[in-house]
Structure 1
Amino acid sequence: GSKFAELVLRRALDREREPSLRLVLTALDGGDPPRSGTAQLCINVTDANDNAPMFAQERYRASLREDAPPGSTVVNVSASDPDSGTNARIRYGFGKMSAKVLQKFVVDAESGTISLQEFLDFEDTRSFSLAVEARDGGGLVAHCKVAIEVLDVNDNAPEVTLTLVSSTVPEDAPVGTVVALLNVNDPDSGENGEMSCELLGEAPLSLVKSSGGSYKVVTASALDREQAAEHRLVLRASDGGEPARTGTARIRVAVLDANDNAPVFSQAEYTVRVPEDVPVGSTLVTVTATDFDEGLNGHVKYS
């Protein structure tokens, strides 16, 4: 006679562990002694999309100079899927992120290479966090994070801002009189943002640091309008970058006259010989005095 047998699963299959099964089926008859027949069974397990992609790292880190050109590679992310065929075909993309971040970076769907699309600006944004997805052909998704640090370059020169300038200073102003107040700022970081300031030009003025990036220009010695009626200086601020960048501001100070000079006669002593019969009203001598001050201070009257 004949009899039909059914092959029934006793446990779940796992193609990733056992892609195929080989069995021997034995049939016995009821004789004495019994006779048997065998058949070889080869079972190939077809894939089901039961595995999601898995990234090599849950979190990637990268750093990039702010002057890196568009097209620069930031980092390569990689995911694997033990399934086969379409179920193992992975495509990469970004998760939910702001439009600003999406404008800066792009990910290659096939390779997982993340590249720069626009120039970065350390002074605007110092770091980015990207959400990256790996999706297989069956729709299962894996996620990872990419932390990007933006490295500063010395792309900003110091900015010198005059907050107060006295365009005129009396020449008898005491030493230490404030002539100008200013702020110096450099948005770069580290050595690129460290600044030093100096006054260029010869003048009885000096630069004094107040606090932070604040400075004041003060008189360092007595002024003398008769020697210099005005002073023109350049304030130069330099940062610590390589090469260093500089910023400048120009200061002009006019010295106002003080009545610090007495009239001086052209001669210390005049000797005049006058005949005794000289008529009344005759000019005997002309004396001259000079005053180096200006305006009313330099106007000489005789008595």
Structure 2
Amino acid sequence: YFLSGEDVSKFTMNKETGVIKAARELRLEDNGGGDDTVYKLQIQATDGGKEPKSASAELIVKLWPRHLFPIITAPTDTKFTLSEDVAAGRVITKLSASSPKLGAVGGVRFAIAGGNIGDALRMDANTGEVLVSGGGLDYETAPQYEVWVEARDSDNPPLRTVLQLIINVTDANDNPPVMESSLYNPMILEEEPPPQKVVRVKATDADSGMNGRTTSTESSKS
């Protein structure tokens, strides 16, 4: 990815991921203090072929006065640690917010804005509660969730404020071992002196650490 334009010095772009960030704190005063500051940039994406092909798009960033946006007043702690076997419906945290324009009862609604891998979480739009969804957390899929949540007012157009929550997941012994084969049927020679190798069995376990280590036991059928 490549970023260009008159305002390119105010932004940075990760050439591999395409993520664009402000290079410094942006202020309305930089453009005369009006409420209509706009930054225009051009984005180009190029492939890695021998004869590279590219595509382009325009990015228009509008800078709004901070005092107009919803204010998230809670939570103060944004980092959490949960076991992957935590029950569905568990409340992780609760957001509170108010709208400077519309007041504390200004119709602020909440939503998950990004980072919700596998839809492991859900959010009550009215209460601001962030909960574990029916699918639950899975350490093997995502040992850490970097989730963006938002508070959005009811103005037209609506303004929103986002907050990042970091949820670290610990492993639980929630996966049984899986045998490489359900039936082993080796053939061996008679009168071969011990120890004669019969077969090697193998099992895998998706869990990590000690939860993923497997041991073998013997049993016989009479």
Shorter-chain TM-score: which interval? 0.5 to 0.7
Inter-CA distance 177–166: structure 2 relative to 1 (3 Å threshold): farther
Equivalent residue for 1:189? 102
Aligned residue pairs, count: 148
- SS of 2:211's equivalent in the other structure is helix
Q: Which of 203, 207, 212 matches 1:298?
A: 212
Over the aligned positions, Cα root-mean-square deviation in angstroms equals 2.8
Residues 255-285 of structure 1: CA deviation (Å, up to 9, x unaligned): 2221111111111111111111322123221
Shift of 1:287: 0.8
Aligned equivalents of 1:189 and 1:169: distance in 2? 36
Residue 234 in structure 1 maps to residue 157 in structure 2:
no
Q: Confirm or deny: 8 A CA contact 1:235 1:249 kept in the other structure.
A: yes
- SS of 1:189's equivalent in the other structure is coil
Shift of 1:164: 4.1
Residues 181-233 of structure 1: CA deviation (Å, up to 9, x unaligned): 222122223699432211123422111367xxx62211121333333333332
* Aligned partner letter, 2:180: S
Residues 16-55 of structure 1: CA deviation (Å, up to 9, x unaligned): xxxxxxxxxxxxxxxxxxxxxxxxxxxxxxxxxxxxxxxx
Q: Confirm or deny: 8 A CA contact 1:192 1:240 kept in the other structure.
A: no
Equivalent residue for 2:164? 250
The higher relative CO (CA closer than 8 Å, separation ≥ 6) is in 2
Aligned equivalents of 2:148 and 2:214: distance in 1? 38
Q: Confirm or deny: 8 A CA contact 1:231 1:253 kept in the other structure.
A: yes
Equivalent residue for 1:199? 112
Aligned equivalents of 2:174 and 2:187: distance in 1? 35
- SS of 1:234's equivalent in the other structure is strand
Aligned equivalents of 2:207 and 2:190: distance in 1? 40
Equivalent residue for 1:208? 124
Residue 156 in structure 1 maps to residue 72 in structure 2:
no
Residue 220 in structure 1 maps to residue 138 in structure 2:
no
Aligned equivalents of 2:98 and 2:153: distance in 1? 10
Question: TM-score scaled by structure 2?
Answer: 0.58
Q: Confirm or deny: 8 A CA contact 1:258 1:293 kept in the other structure.
A: yes
Structure 1 residue runs of 5 or longer lacking an equivalent are 1-152
Aligned equivalents of 1:164 and 1:208: distance in 2? 19
Aligned equivalents of 1:191 and 1:205: distance in 2? 26
Percent identity of paired positions between Structure 1 and Structure 2: 28
